[in-house]
Structure 1
Amino acid sequence: MPDPSSGEFKRRLVHASGTGLPLLYVLDFVTWRQFGYVMVAASVVTAVLEFFRLVVGLDWRIYDELTRPYEQTNLAGYALYMFSITAVALVFAPYLAVPAALMLTIGDPVSGLLGTTREAGEPKRPRTLAAMFSVCLLVSVPYLVPVAGVAVGGIAAVTAALAATAADGFTPVIAGYVIDDNASIPPVAAVAGGVVLALTGAAPVIG
Protein backbone atom coordinates (compact mmCIF):
# COMPACT_ATOMS: atom_id res chain seq x y z
CA MET A 1 0.00 0.00 0.00
CA PRO A 2 1.39 3.46 -0.84
CA ASP A 3 2.59 5.68 1.91
CA PRO A 4 0.43 8.80 1.71
CA SER A 5 1.96 12.16 2.42
CA SER A 6 1.34 13.80 5.78
CA GLY A 7 -0.92 16.39 4.16
CA GLU A 8 -2.90 13.73 2.31
CA PHE A 9 -3.35 11.70 5.49
CA LYS A 10 -4.60 14.78 7.37
CA ARG A 11 -7.09 15.50 4.59
CA ARG A 12 -8.39 11.94 4.74
CA LEU A 13 -8.63 12.08 8.53
CA VAL A 14 -10.67 15.28 8.39
CA HIS A 15 -12.76 13.70 5.64
CA ALA A 16 -13.58 10.66 7.77
CA SER A 17 -14.37 12.80 10.82
CA GLY A 18 -17.36 14.13 8.90
CA THR A 19 -19.04 10.78 9.55
CA GLY A 20 -20.05 12.32 12.86
CA LEU A 21 -22.57 14.49 11.03
CA PRO A 22 -24.90 11.76 9.72
CA LEU A 23 -24.33 9.84 12.96
CA LEU A 24 -26.19 12.63 14.76
CA TYR A 25 -29.30 11.33 13.02
CA VAL A 26 -28.39 7.63 12.98
CA LEU A 27 -27.85 7.64 16.75
CA ASP A 28 -31.09 9.60 17.35
CA PHE A 29 -29.47 12.73 18.69
CA VAL A 30 -31.55 14.76 16.21
CA THR A 31 -34.58 14.20 14.02
CA TRP A 32 -34.23 14.17 10.25
CA ARG A 33 -35.61 17.70 10.04
CA GLN A 34 -33.19 18.88 12.70
CA PHE A 35 -30.33 17.21 10.88
CA GLY A 36 -31.23 19.29 7.84
CA TYR A 37 -30.99 22.43 9.96
CA VAL A 38 -27.60 21.33 11.29
CA MET A 39 -26.31 20.83 7.75
CA VAL A 40 -27.65 24.17 6.55
CA ALA A 41 -25.92 25.90 9.47
CA ALA A 42 -22.67 24.04 8.74
CA SER A 43 -22.89 25.03 5.08
CA VAL A 44 -23.44 28.69 5.95
CA VAL A 45 -20.36 28.70 8.19
CA THR A 46 -18.39 26.95 5.44
CA ALA A 47 -19.53 29.48 2.83
CA VAL A 48 -18.39 32.36 5.07
CA LEU A 49 -14.98 30.75 5.57
CA GLU A 50 -14.57 30.22 1.85
CA PHE A 51 -15.60 33.83 1.17
CA PHE A 52 -12.86 35.08 3.47
CA ARG A 53 -10.32 32.66 1.97
CA LEU A 54 -11.06 33.31 -1.71
CA VAL A 55 -12.28 36.92 -1.72
CA VAL A 56 -10.79 38.60 1.33
CA GLY A 57 -7.56 36.62 1.19
CA LEU A 58 -7.56 34.98 4.61
CA ASP A 59 -4.37 32.93 4.72
CA TRP A 60 -4.50 30.46 7.56
CA ARG A 61 -1.85 27.75 7.66
CA ILE A 62 -4.53 25.08 7.96
CA TYR A 63 -5.66 25.92 4.42
CA ASP A 64 -2.21 25.04 3.12
CA GLU A 65 -2.38 21.73 5.01
CA LEU A 66 -5.84 20.68 3.93
CA THR A 67 -6.23 22.00 0.38
CA ARG A 68 -4.70 20.77 -2.85
CA PRO A 69 -3.01 23.08 -5.39
CA TYR A 70 -6.04 23.20 -7.71
CA GLU A 71 -8.22 24.33 -4.78
CA GLN A 72 -6.19 27.46 -4.08
CA THR A 73 -8.39 29.58 -6.35
CA ASN A 74 -11.54 27.40 -6.34
CA LEU A 75 -13.93 26.21 -3.68
CA ALA A 76 -12.05 23.79 -1.44
CA GLY A 77 -12.97 20.14 -1.16
CA TYR A 78 -14.22 20.54 2.42
CA ALA A 79 -16.74 23.16 1.24
CA LEU A 80 -18.03 21.00 -1.61
CA TYR A 81 -18.21 18.15 0.91
CA MET A 82 -20.48 20.16 3.21
CA PHE A 83 -22.62 21.53 0.40
CA SER A 84 -23.20 18.13 -1.24
CA ILE A 85 -24.18 16.41 2.01
CA THR A 86 -26.50 19.31 2.82
CA ALA A 87 -28.14 19.05 -0.60
CA VAL A 88 -28.95 15.35 -0.31
CA ALA A 89 -30.15 15.81 3.29
CA LEU A 90 -32.61 18.50 2.19
CA VAL A 91 -33.90 16.68 -0.88
CA PHE A 92 -33.86 12.93 -0.31
CA ALA A 93 -35.38 10.54 2.21
CA PRO A 94 -32.95 9.53 4.98
CA TYR A 95 -32.52 5.97 3.68
CA LEU A 96 -31.07 7.48 0.50
CA ALA A 97 -29.32 10.53 1.92
CA VAL A 98 -27.55 8.91 4.89
CA PRO A 99 -25.76 6.18 2.90
CA ALA A 100 -24.97 8.72 0.17
CA ALA A 101 -23.26 10.88 2.80
CA LEU A 102 -21.43 7.88 4.30
CA MET A 103 -20.14 6.92 0.85
CA LEU A 104 -18.35 10.26 0.86
CA THR A 105 -17.25 10.37 4.50
CA ILE A 106 -16.08 6.73 4.70
CA GLY A 107 -15.74 5.33 1.18
CA ASP A 108 -13.78 8.20 -0.34
CA PRO A 109 -11.11 8.33 2.41
CA VAL A 110 -10.67 4.55 2.23
CA SER A 111 -10.19 4.61 -1.54
CA GLY A 112 -7.90 7.62 -1.22
CA LEU A 113 -5.61 5.92 1.26
CA LEU A 114 -5.48 2.74 -0.81
CA GLY A 115 -4.56 4.60 -3.97
CA THR A 116 -1.71 6.89 -4.82
CA THR A 117 -2.20 10.63 -4.93
CA ARG A 118 -3.27 11.54 -8.47
CA GLU A 119 -3.71 14.59 -10.61
CA ALA A 120 -7.19 15.83 -11.46
CA GLY A 121 -8.51 13.93 -14.46
CA GLU A 122 -6.47 10.79 -13.75
CA PRO A 123 -8.62 7.70 -12.98
CA LYS A 124 -8.02 5.50 -9.94
CA ARG A 125 -6.77 1.91 -10.12
CA PRO A 126 -9.22 -1.03 -10.29
CA ARG A 127 -8.36 -2.31 -6.79
CA THR A 128 -9.05 1.13 -5.36
CA LEU A 129 -12.37 1.31 -7.15
CA ALA A 130 -13.23 -2.18 -5.88
CA ALA A 131 -12.58 -1.04 -2.31
CA MET A 132 -14.72 2.05 -2.83
CA PHE A 133 -17.57 -0.03 -4.24
CA SER A 134 -17.37 -2.51 -1.36
CA VAL A 135 -17.54 0.21 1.28
CA CYS A 136 -20.40 1.98 -0.51
CA LEU A 137 -22.36 -1.23 -0.80
CA LEU A 138 -21.81 -2.04 2.88
CA VAL A 139 -23.13 1.34 4.03
CA SER A 140 -26.14 1.35 1.69
CA VAL A 141 -27.56 -2.16 2.15
CA PRO A 142 -28.62 -1.61 5.81
CA TYR A 143 -30.68 1.40 4.76
CA LEU A 144 -32.19 0.35 1.44
CA VAL A 145 -33.02 -3.31 2.01
CA PRO A 146 -35.27 -2.67 5.06
CA VAL A 147 -37.40 -0.12 3.18
CA ALA A 148 -37.51 -1.77 -0.26
CA GLY A 149 -36.94 -5.47 0.34
CA VAL A 150 -34.01 -7.71 -0.48
CA ALA A 151 -34.46 -7.69 -4.27
CA VAL A 152 -35.28 -4.04 -4.96
CA GLY A 153 -33.30 -2.72 -2.02
CA GLY A 154 -30.29 -4.77 -3.08
CA ILE A 155 -30.49 -3.49 -6.64
CA ALA A 156 -30.84 0.09 -5.37
CA ALA A 157 -27.83 -0.38 -3.09
CA VAL A 158 -25.69 -1.81 -5.90
CA THR A 159 -26.78 0.98 -8.28
CA ALA A 160 -26.01 3.69 -5.73
CA ALA A 161 -22.64 2.12 -4.93
CA LEU A 162 -21.73 1.90 -8.61
CA ALA A 163 -22.65 5.54 -9.15
CA ALA A 164 -20.58 6.66 -6.17
CA THR A 165 -17.64 4.54 -7.34
CA ALA A 166 -17.81 6.08 -10.81
CA ALA A 167 -17.87 9.59 -9.31
CA ASP A 168 -14.92 8.73 -7.09
CA GLY A 169 -12.90 7.03 -9.81
CA PHE A 170 -12.67 9.86 -12.29
CA THR A 171 -12.53 13.59 -11.60
CA PRO A 172 -13.16 15.42 -14.87
CA VAL A 173 -11.87 18.89 -15.65
CA ILE A 174 -14.40 21.01 -17.54
CA ALA A 175 -13.32 24.41 -18.90
CA GLY A 176 -10.43 24.38 -16.44
CA TYR A 177 -12.68 23.68 -13.45
CA VAL A 178 -12.25 20.45 -11.52
CA ILE A 179 -15.50 18.57 -10.84
CA ASP A 180 -14.51 17.38 -7.40
CA ASP A 181 -15.81 14.05 -6.13
CA ASN A 182 -16.66 15.76 -2.85
CA ALA A 183 -19.43 17.48 -4.78
CA SER A 184 -20.50 14.57 -6.96
CA ILE A 185 -20.50 11.42 -4.79
CA PRO A 186 -23.54 12.07 -2.53
CA PRO A 187 -25.91 13.41 -5.20
CA VAL A 188 -25.13 10.80 -7.86
CA ALA A 189 -25.46 8.00 -5.29
CA ALA A 190 -28.77 9.31 -3.97
CA VAL A 191 -30.15 9.89 -7.46
CA ALA A 192 -29.07 6.44 -8.68
CA GLY A 193 -30.61 4.66 -5.72
CA GLY A 194 -33.67 6.89 -5.91
CA VAL A 195 -34.28 6.04 -9.55
CA VAL A 196 -34.54 2.34 -8.66
CA LEU A 197 -36.97 3.07 -5.82
CA ALA A 198 -39.04 5.41 -7.98
CA LEU A 199 -39.27 3.02 -10.96
CA THR A 200 -40.35 0.13 -8.74
CA GLY A 201 -42.54 2.20 -6.43
CA ALA A 202 -40.86 0.46 -3.51
CA ALA A 203 -40.42 3.55 -1.32
CA PRO A 204 -40.68 7.35 -1.53
CA VAL A 205 -37.57 9.11 -2.79
CA ILE A 206 -38.07 12.63 -1.50
CA GLY A 207 -37.55 13.21 2.20
Structure 2
Amino acid sequence: MADELKRRLVHSSGAGLVVLYLLSEAYDLGLTWERFRMLMVALAVGTIGLEFLRLRVGLDWQLYEKLTREYEQDQFAGYGYYMVSMTVAVLLFEPQIALPAMLMLAIGDPISGAVSDDSLKFVKGPTVLVTMFVVSALLAAPFLYETPLAVLAAALGATIADGVKVRLGDFIVDDNLTIPIYASVLAWVVLEFVPL
Protein backbone atom coordinates (compact mmCIF):
# COMPACT_ATOMS: atom_id res chain seq x y z
CA MET A 1 0.00 0.00 0.00
CA ALA A 2 2.86 2.40 0.81
CA ASP A 3 4.39 1.80 -2.63
CA GLU A 4 1.02 2.51 -4.25
CA LEU A 5 0.77 5.82 -2.40
CA LYS A 6 4.30 6.71 -3.55
CA ARG A 7 3.34 5.87 -7.14
CA ARG A 8 0.29 8.13 -6.90
CA LEU A 9 2.32 10.99 -5.47
CA VAL A 10 4.91 10.67 -8.25
CA HIS A 11 2.06 10.46 -10.76
CA SER A 12 0.63 13.73 -9.40
CA SER A 13 4.01 15.45 -9.64
CA GLY A 14 3.49 15.71 -13.41
CA ALA A 15 1.14 18.59 -12.63
CA GLY A 16 4.33 20.51 -11.85
CA LEU A 17 5.05 20.69 -15.57
CA VAL A 18 1.76 22.50 -16.14
CA VAL A 19 2.45 24.81 -13.20
CA LEU A 20 5.93 25.52 -14.59
CA TYR A 21 4.48 26.60 -17.93
CA LEU A 22 1.69 28.69 -16.38
CA LEU A 23 4.06 30.47 -13.98
CA SER A 24 6.51 31.16 -16.76
CA GLU A 25 3.74 32.63 -18.88
CA ALA A 26 2.33 34.69 -16.00
CA TYR A 27 5.71 36.14 -15.06
CA ASP A 28 7.14 36.30 -18.59
CA LEU A 29 10.05 34.00 -17.75
CA GLY A 30 10.70 32.99 -21.35
CA LEU A 31 9.26 29.48 -21.43
CA THR A 32 7.23 29.90 -24.60
CA TRP A 33 4.92 27.18 -25.84
CA GLU A 34 7.55 26.17 -28.42
CA ARG A 35 10.22 25.87 -25.73
CA PHE A 36 7.83 23.95 -23.51
CA ARG A 37 7.26 21.55 -26.42
CA MET A 38 11.03 21.07 -26.71
CA LEU A 39 11.27 20.45 -22.97
CA MET A 40 8.53 17.81 -23.17
CA VAL A 41 10.25 16.09 -26.10
CA ALA A 42 13.52 16.03 -24.14
CA LEU A 43 11.76 14.54 -21.10
CA ALA A 44 10.01 11.91 -23.22
CA VAL A 45 13.24 10.94 -25.00
CA GLY A 46 15.01 10.75 -21.63
CA THR A 47 12.26 8.54 -20.25
CA ILE A 48 12.42 6.22 -23.26
CA GLY A 49 16.19 6.09 -22.80
CA LEU A 50 15.83 5.11 -19.14
CA GLU A 51 13.38 2.39 -20.08
CA PHE A 52 15.79 1.10 -22.72
CA LEU A 53 18.57 0.96 -20.13
CA ARG A 54 16.28 -0.78 -17.64
CA LEU A 55 14.86 -3.36 -20.03
CA ARG A 56 17.79 -4.03 -22.39
CA VAL A 57 20.94 -3.17 -20.47
CA GLY A 58 19.75 -4.21 -17.03
CA LEU A 59 19.94 -0.90 -15.19
CA ASP A 60 18.40 -1.84 -11.85
CA TRP A 61 17.92 1.16 -9.59
CA GLN A 62 16.02 0.53 -6.38
CA LEU A 63 13.70 3.37 -7.41
CA TYR A 64 12.30 1.10 -10.12
CA GLU A 65 11.30 -1.45 -7.47
CA LYS A 66 9.22 1.15 -5.66
CA LEU A 67 7.66 2.95 -8.60
CA THR A 68 6.89 0.21 -11.11
CA ARG A 69 4.26 -2.44 -10.71
CA GLU A 70 5.08 -6.13 -10.82
CA TYR A 71 3.69 -6.62 -14.35
CA GLU A 72 5.90 -3.75 -15.58
CA GLN A 73 9.16 -5.45 -14.56
CA ASP A 74 9.70 -6.88 -18.04
CA GLN A 75 7.83 -4.38 -20.20
CA PHE A 76 7.69 -0.67 -20.92
CA ALA A 77 6.52 0.93 -17.67
CA GLY A 78 3.58 3.23 -17.11
CA TYR A 79 5.75 6.28 -16.43
CA GLY A 80 7.10 5.95 -19.98
CA TYR A 81 3.60 5.98 -21.45
CA TYR A 82 2.83 8.91 -19.15
CA MET A 83 5.62 11.09 -20.55
CA VAL A 84 5.00 10.04 -24.14
CA SER A 85 1.28 10.79 -24.00
CA MET A 86 1.77 14.17 -22.34
CA THR A 87 4.33 15.02 -25.01
CA VAL A 88 2.00 13.95 -27.83
CA ALA A 89 -0.75 16.20 -26.41
CA VAL A 90 1.66 19.15 -26.14
CA LEU A 91 3.00 18.65 -29.67
CA LEU A 92 -0.40 18.27 -31.33
CA PHE A 93 -2.55 20.75 -29.46
CA GLU A 94 -2.53 24.28 -28.14
CA PRO A 95 -2.16 25.03 -24.40
CA GLN A 96 -5.88 25.40 -23.67
CA ILE A 97 -6.36 21.77 -24.76
CA ALA A 98 -3.05 20.13 -23.88
CA LEU A 99 -2.56 21.53 -20.37
CA PRO A 100 -5.87 20.31 -18.90
CA ALA A 101 -5.33 16.94 -20.62
CA MET A 102 -1.98 16.69 -18.83
CA LEU A 103 -3.67 17.51 -15.52
CA MET A 104 -6.31 14.87 -16.11
CA LEU A 105 -3.53 12.30 -16.26
CA ALA A 106 -1.43 13.76 -13.44
CA ILE A 107 -4.26 14.44 -10.99
CA GLY A 108 -7.43 12.80 -12.27
CA ASP A 109 -5.95 9.35 -12.78
CA PRO A 110 -4.54 9.00 -9.22
CA ILE A 111 -7.82 10.24 -7.72
CA SER A 112 -9.75 7.77 -9.86
CA GLY A 113 -7.34 5.04 -8.76
CA ALA A 114 -7.91 5.91 -5.12
CA VAL A 115 -11.65 5.21 -5.40
CA SER A 116 -11.18 2.13 -7.58
CA ASP A 117 -11.45 -1.39 -6.21
CA ASP A 118 -8.42 -2.40 -8.35
CA SER A 119 -10.40 -5.19 -9.98
CA LEU A 120 -9.57 -6.29 -13.51
CA LYS A 121 -12.90 -5.29 -15.05
CA PHE A 122 -12.85 -4.03 -18.61
CA VAL A 123 -15.20 -1.22 -17.62
CA LYS A 124 -14.69 0.36 -14.20
CA GLY A 125 -17.59 0.87 -11.82
CA PRO A 126 -19.89 3.91 -11.78
CA THR A 127 -18.17 5.51 -8.77
CA VAL A 128 -14.81 5.51 -10.56
CA LEU A 129 -16.29 6.77 -13.83
CA VAL A 130 -18.22 9.61 -12.16
CA THR A 131 -15.21 10.57 -10.05
CA MET A 132 -12.92 10.74 -13.09
CA PHE A 133 -15.48 12.72 -15.09
CA VAL A 134 -16.10 15.30 -12.35
CA VAL A 135 -12.41 15.75 -11.52
CA SER A 136 -11.52 16.03 -15.22
CA ALA A 137 -14.27 18.58 -15.85
CA LEU A 138 -13.06 20.65 -12.89
CA LEU A 139 -9.50 20.53 -14.25
CA ALA A 140 -10.60 21.50 -17.77
CA ALA A 141 -12.93 24.33 -16.76
CA PRO A 142 -10.28 27.01 -16.08
CA PHE A 143 -8.78 26.43 -19.52
CA LEU A 144 -11.93 25.93 -21.59
CA TYR A 145 -14.50 27.91 -19.60
CA GLU A 146 -15.62 29.83 -22.69
CA THR A 147 -16.67 26.54 -24.26
CA PRO A 148 -18.50 24.38 -21.70
CA LEU A 149 -19.14 21.68 -24.29
CA ALA A 150 -15.37 21.32 -24.79
CA VAL A 151 -14.96 20.97 -21.01
CA LEU A 152 -17.47 18.11 -21.03
CA ALA A 153 -15.91 16.52 -24.12
CA ALA A 154 -12.40 16.57 -22.61
CA ALA A 155 -13.74 15.09 -19.36
CA LEU A 156 -15.60 12.41 -21.31
CA GLY A 157 -12.43 11.52 -23.23
CA ALA A 158 -10.41 11.19 -20.03
CA THR A 159 -13.17 9.14 -18.41
CA ILE A 160 -13.38 6.71 -21.32
CA ALA A 161 -9.59 6.36 -21.39
CA ASP A 162 -9.43 5.76 -17.66
CA GLY A 163 -12.54 3.64 -17.32
CA VAL A 164 -12.54 1.35 -20.35
CA LYS A 165 -9.63 -1.02 -20.96
CA VAL A 166 -8.55 -1.42 -24.58
CA ARG A 167 -7.07 -4.77 -25.52
CA LEU A 168 -4.96 -5.30 -28.65
CA GLY A 169 -4.31 -9.03 -28.82
CA ASP A 170 -2.64 -9.90 -25.51
CA PHE A 171 -1.65 -6.29 -24.86
CA ILE A 172 -3.81 -4.02 -22.69
CA VAL A 173 -3.27 -0.37 -23.59
CA ASP A 174 -2.11 1.60 -20.53
CA ASP A 175 -4.43 4.48 -19.61
CA ASN A 176 -1.31 6.59 -19.01
CA LEU A 177 -1.04 6.60 -22.79
CA THR A 178 -4.68 7.25 -23.61
CA ILE A 179 -5.97 9.78 -21.04
CA PRO A 180 -4.32 12.95 -22.43
CA ILE A 181 -4.81 11.87 -26.02
CA TYR A 182 -8.53 11.03 -25.76
CA ALA A 183 -9.21 14.18 -23.72
CA SER A 184 -7.33 16.39 -26.18
CA VAL A 185 -8.89 14.90 -29.28
CA LEU A 186 -12.46 15.21 -28.02
CA ALA A 187 -11.93 18.78 -26.82
CA TRP A 188 -10.37 19.67 -30.18
CA VAL A 189 -13.26 18.10 -32.12
CA VAL A 190 -15.75 20.24 -30.20
CA LEU A 191 -13.71 23.41 -30.65
CA GLU A 192 -13.20 22.80 -34.35
CA PHE A 193 -16.48 21.32 -35.52
CA VAL A 194 -19.30 22.07 -33.10
CA PRO A 195 -21.03 25.39 -33.71
CA LEU A 196 -20.87 27.45 -30.54
Instruction: Spell out the pairing of 1:122-141 with structure 2 (5 A cutoff).
Output: 122-141=122-141
Output the CA distance in 2 between the equivalents of 1:92 and 1:36: 10
**Percent pairwise identity:** 47
The residue number in structure 2 matching 1:105 is: 106
The residue number in structure 1 matching 2:39 is: 38
Q: Which runs of 5+ in 2 are unaligned?
A: none
1:189 paired residue among 173, 183, 187: 183
The residue number in structure 2 matching 1:168 is: 162
Query: Relative to structure 1, is the Cα distance of residues 138 and 104 closer, same or farther in structure 2, using a 3 angstrom cutoff?
Result: same
Output the CA distance in 1 between the equivalents of 2:69 and 2:117: 14
Q: Deviations over 1:156-179 (max 9, x none)?
A: 110110110011012233222120
Output the CA distance in 1 between the equivalents of 2:139 and 2:12: 14
Output the CA distance in 1 between the equivalents of 2:171 and 2:69: 14
Root-mean-square deviation over aligned CA pairs? 1.5
Output the CA distance in 1 between the equivalents of 2:57 and 2:47: 15
Code of the aligned partner of 2:43: A
Code of the aligned partner of 1:50: E
Output the CA distance in 1 between the equivalents of 2:127 and 2:194: 32
Code of the aligned partner of 1:138: L
Whether the aligned pair in 2 keeps the contact of 1:9 and 1:113 (CA below 8 Å) is no
Q: Give aligned pairs, total.
A: 191
The residue number in structure 1 matching 2:153 is: 159
Deviation at 1:69, TM superposition (A): 2.3
Deviation at 1:196, TM superposition (A): 0.5
TM-score by length of 2: 0.92
Q: Which runs of 5+ in 1 are unaligned?
A: 203-207
Deviation at 1:129, TM superposition (A): 1.5
Runs of 4+ in 1 over 3 A off after TM superposition: none
Output the CA distance in 1 between the equivalents of 2:11 and 2:119: 17
Output the CA distance in 2 between the equivalents of 1:174 and 1:69: 20
Indicate yes or no: 2:171 matched with 1:177: yes
Whether the aligned pair in 2 keeps the contact of 1:24 and 1:35 (CA below 8 Å) is no
Output the CA distance in 2 between the equivalents of 1:122 and 1:191: 22
Indicate yes or no: 2:20 matched with 1:19: no
Which one is further off, 124-133 or 98-107? 124-133
